[in-house]
A and B are shown apart, each in its own frame.
Chain A
Amino acid sequence: MTGFLQNTFNGLVSGAFYALLALGLAVIFGMLRVVNFAHGAFYMLGAFGAYVLLSEAGVPFWAALVIMPLGLALLGMALERAVIHRLTRLDPLYNFLLTFGLTLILQDLVKTRYGVQSSPYATPAELSGSVDFGLFDFPTYRVFILGFAVLLCVAVWWVLTRTRIGMVVRAATERPELTRAFGIDVGRWVTPVFGFGIGLAGLAGVLAAPMRAVNPLMGADLIIVIFAVVVIGGLGSIFGSVAAGFGIGLVQAWGEAYLSEFPIVSQTIVFVVMAAVLLWRPAGLFGREEAPA
């Protein structure tokens, strides 16, 4: 029982990363119809930025947790204005290719400057140690991540459903022309929403720095898993993306624990789930059917 709870907890923690990344991807897709391949690269930049800030400027984790997401959000907004914006009127495939190219560039820039080896990042002192839950204890840092991610998801949900900005964003996502016809300037929100999504990826990166190996390729394979996650949840559905993120984290952790004689399972189970979802509900668990094609 204790083992099961521990696995479940670890699954939720890795699911929290999936959820944060999928959330940013879904928000950006909703507003811009852009599937941002570079999302994993921005996650990597978040983690790497935190590492460089600490090792070269002595900036602590808590400051990095604010600086990196804001900085990356600004970078994202600049990129949106400079290039992505030029292609949003075309088939979304072009922006997919563009952000793929950006991914290769960002990865190689970091690689040529810092090499490919992984760098350690110390857990902040306030969050080291573990929390005793009676039956078992968990590393404080992981408890913090889980709480923080859930809080963030709830906050985003609150903003989207309970504020005027959220209302505009949701309306623009579902019916852009009609929203414009009501006299709402949809274009005004495009760049900030893109920056926000990128900021979330950067934030996830900073959170990951003390837990995962920090290296230039840490976001590369992750982004593909995130794509599978959003296909499972339904990219159009923000709730679906977050739920699928946590769900896949759980399934992976359980697979790893109870099918440990097959190490391949934990890596591929997400794709098996995706295949099942495509068979059963092609639009994703929480997605709506696309226009018939």
Chain B
Amino acid sequence: MTATVDTEAAPARSGLLAVARAPGWVRYALLAAGLAVALWLPNGLYPAVAVDILCWALFAVSVDLLLGFTGLMSFGHAAFWGTSAYLTGLVAVHAGLPFPVAVLAGAFGAAALALPIGYLAVKRTGIYFAMVTLAFAQMVYYVANEWRSVTGGENGLQGVPRSLFGLDLTDDYYFYYAILPIVLFGLAAAWRITHSPFGRVLVGIRDNPARARALGYPVHRYKLTAFVLSGFIAGLGGGLFAVGHRFVSLDVLHWTTSGKAVIVVVLGGIGTLWGGVLGAAVVVRLEDWLSFSGFEAIGLVTGGIFVLVVLLFRRGIWGSVAALVLRWMAARRR
């Protein structure tokens, strides 16, 4: 972001710090509750929807790592999500490896793509960063569209297998539990990154890049590292998404996918990490419900959510709840 301080988002961003300041038992209780919900989810929802929620949760967290903790809005994260989806699909189809290996290969591929794109994009900040990442993602989209022999073009990549040492994972219910450890690993990695000394420097860069530079931190290199890590996590999500759907379409690289990832984060709460998970659950569930009820113009709803969230709900779900809880706790202490 530019040097101007974004006063409006400041309370939303401090949401994370606020929870971190909450007493230890609250945090452990929240963690336990979160894990319990994650374990229960496919019993309460269609398992296929639950799988999508997990994938999108990783995607949202990867975007929040940049938007909330580094101050960079990537509007082209579909490039990493989609590239990994295609790579994972290709590895799974042609090499017949277990799906976690394929997903890992896809995620590393996404990180490798994030390196040159990030190198160029971190030369700009703020709104320019968004435009540059969006443009490069569109380039990746065109390449995938044109490279039909590999990606299948508009027909997509079909028949991605869910192989795992001979286990039968065709049922989405069991597949959900097969991917849950990978997703939890990705989420834990994101939490670890933001709570490490490295993550603190990122927040410092977000809040005052000039000062971070004056203190001797190589700002560009920090941003680039964050970008590559974020690309890797987005790649984990995208790879799982490909295996989950057993099919990869060009949609995974489309700019609307990038935009959706950003709005999921804003809806959940910028800079709250777990807010993105909530946002993913809400948006995926809502879209599933809309398509189930035969509503055609999903863009109207997604676009409407964009407009409403940006106008009225910039703190997001997590940020609003955290603010309420903190106010309540402060009142009780008095």
Contact A93 B296 (CB under 8 A): no
Which range holds the interface residue count of chain A?
Answer: 35 or more
What separation, in Å, do the CA atoms of A238 and B155 have in the docked complex? 41
A260-283 residues at the B interface, CB under 8 angstroms: 263-264, 267-268, 270-272, 274-275, 278-279, 282
Contact B304 A278 (CB under 8 A): no
B241 CB → nearest A CB, Å: 21
Residues of B within 8 A of A97 (CB): 262-263, 266, 306, 310
Encode A197-225 as 1/0 by CB contact (under 8 A) with B.
00000000000000000000000110011
A83 (CB) vs chain B CBs: closest residue: B311
Contact B302 A104 (CB under 8 A): yes
Contact A271 B126 (CB under 8 A): no
The secondary structure that dominates the B interface is: helix
Contact B2 A291 (CB under 8 A): yes
Residue among A96, A108, A112 making CB contact with B303, cutoff 8 Å: A108
Contact B127 A105 (CB under 8 A): no
B116-140 residues at the A interface, CB under 8 angstroms: 120-121, 123-128, 130-132, 134-136, 138-139
Encode A75-100 as 1/0 by CB contact (under 8 A) with B.
00000000100110011111011101
Contact B146 A263 (CB under 8 A): yes
The verdict on B6 contacting chain A, using a C-beta distance below 8 Å, is yes
Contact A109 B300 (CB under 8 A): yes
Contact B146 A224 (CB under 8 A): no
Residues of B within 8 A of A83 (CB): 307, 311
A156 CB → nearest B CB, Å: 22
The verdict on B1 contacting chain A, using a C-beta distance below 8 Å, is yes
Residues of B within 8 A of A (CB): 1-4, 6, 8-9, 73, 75, 120-121, 123-128, 130-132, 134-136, 138-139, 142-143, 146-147, 209-210, 213, 219, 255-256, 259, 262-263, 266, 296-300, 302-307, 310-311, 314
- Beyond A98-B310, A275-B136, A292-B209, 10 additional contacts (C-beta under 8 Å) are A93-B127, A93-B130, A100-B303, A104-B306, A227-B131, A235-B128, A263-B146, A272-B139, A278-B123, A279-B120
28 pairs from A and B in contact (CB 8 Å cutoff) = A35-B127, A86-B311, A90-B9, A91-B1, A91-B4, A92-B127, A94-B8, A97-B263, A98-B307, A101-B302, A101-B303, A101-B304, A101-B306, A104-B256, A104-B300, A108-B297, A108-B300, A111-B297, A224-B134, A225-B135, A264-B142, A272-B139, A278-B123, A282-B123, A290-B2, A290-B125, A292-B210, A293-B126
